[in-house]
Amino acid sequence: MLNPMRDQTTVRAELRGDCERCFGLCCVALPFAASTDFAVDKAAGTPCRNLRSDHRCGIHAKLRQRGFTGCTVYDCFGAGQQVSQVTFGGRDWRSAPPEHARRMFDVFPVVRQLHELLWYLTEALALPAARPVHAELRTALAKTEQLTGNTPEELAELDVAAHRQDVNVLLLRTSELARADAKGRKKNRRGADLMGARLVGADLRGANLRGAYLIAADLTGADLRGADLIGADLRDADLTDADLTGAFFLTQPQLNAARGSAGTRLPESVTRPGHWTAQL
């Protein structure tokens, strides 16, 4: 459960993965396929070959060089520590019976989705323009928090897609209110195929970019202030010197998947990925 006395900064910190308090769940529970993001195939529920017995990654400092870029992009929104320490009370999957471990791996993606919703709802509540729906957002936040505290059995049975749908209705209303407040032409690019698009210096203030495919798009110097970026695919998009001040529903995994620079202006809810400036 999130601390009820929290401020925005504390909540955001709680909704970030804390590997120190997790049993490497993302490295076991989730599948991946050999691709530009992962060097090998891995089935769900199977420990990654690079996972050490202390639940740490054996190649953490060289993930990109070793072909595991996908791992540097991922964040569990704090679901790893929640499932490890709260849902399963600190019992790790290595020392537990196989049934306990399987249940842990089944529950982890469910809690990850709930925590992602907590992230969006928290962001929505930080938007002054969304004040008309703040009461409903708070109710949805409380309901989602309550669900994260369910037992493993209840979580395994949860229809998380239905809950997502309910929350999404509220997030859509939030987006309309927030973008109405933004300056610019407020273009509607919801779900648009903008893969590889040349959007250098584009005016995307207050744009609806929900679920847009911006893979490898050139957004150098683009103005994305006040844009809704929920679910936008930013893999390899170039955000060099772009302005994302006040852009909302942008998550750290989305940003981690993009390229950028020290000149990229970011909303305060996310941090500048280390690989933007690091020498690879």
Give the shortest CB-89-to-ligand SF4 separation in angstroms. Answer: 23
Token pair for residue 280?
């690879």
Contacts (Cβ under 8 Å, ≥6 apart) of 183: 205, 206, 225, 226
Tell me if 50 contacts ligand SF4 by CB under 6 A.
yes
Helix (H/G/I), strand (E/B), else coil: 96: coil
Nearer to ligand SF4, 50 or 254 (CB): 50
Residue keyed to tokens 């054996």: 58
- Residues 58-117 interacting with ligand SF4 (rule: CB under 6 A): 59, 68, 71
Nearer to ligand SF4, 51 or 110 (CB): 51
Cβ atoms within 10 A of the Cβ of 207, count? 29
Nearer to ligand SF4, 111 or 224 (CB): 111
Give the shortest CB-153-to-ligand SF4 separation in angstroms. Answer: 27
CA 212 – CA 272 distance, rounded (Å): 22
27, 28, 61, 107 from 56: Cα distances, Å: 9, 12, 11, 21
Given the rule CB under 6 A, which of 45-53, 95-103, 104-112, 243-251 is the region that contacts ligand SF4? 45-53
Tell me if 57 contacts ligand SF4 by CB under 6 A.
yes
Tell me which residue of 182, 181, 247, 178 sits closest to 219, measured CA to CA. 247
Residue positions counted in the chain: 280
Tell me if 48 contacts ligand SF4 by CB under 6 A.
yes
Per-residue interface string for the shown chain with ligand SF4, residues 240-259, x marking contact by CB under 6 A: --------------------
N- to C-terminal Cα separation, the chain: 38
Contact with ligand SF4 (CB under 6 A) among 27, 111, 141, 207: 27
Given the rule CB under 6 A, which of 48-56, 148-156, 164-172, 198-206 is the region that contacts ligand SF4? 48-56
Contact with ligand SF4 (CB under 6 A) among 22, 25, 51, 229: 51
Q: How many residues contact ligand SF4, by CB under 6 A?
A: 8
Which own/partner contact pairs does 237-242 have at CB distance under 8 Å and 24+ positions apart?
239/264, 240/264
Tell me if 194 contacts ligand SF4 by CB under 6 A.
no
Binding site for ligand SF4 (CB under 6 A): 27, 48, 50-51, 57, 59, 68, 71
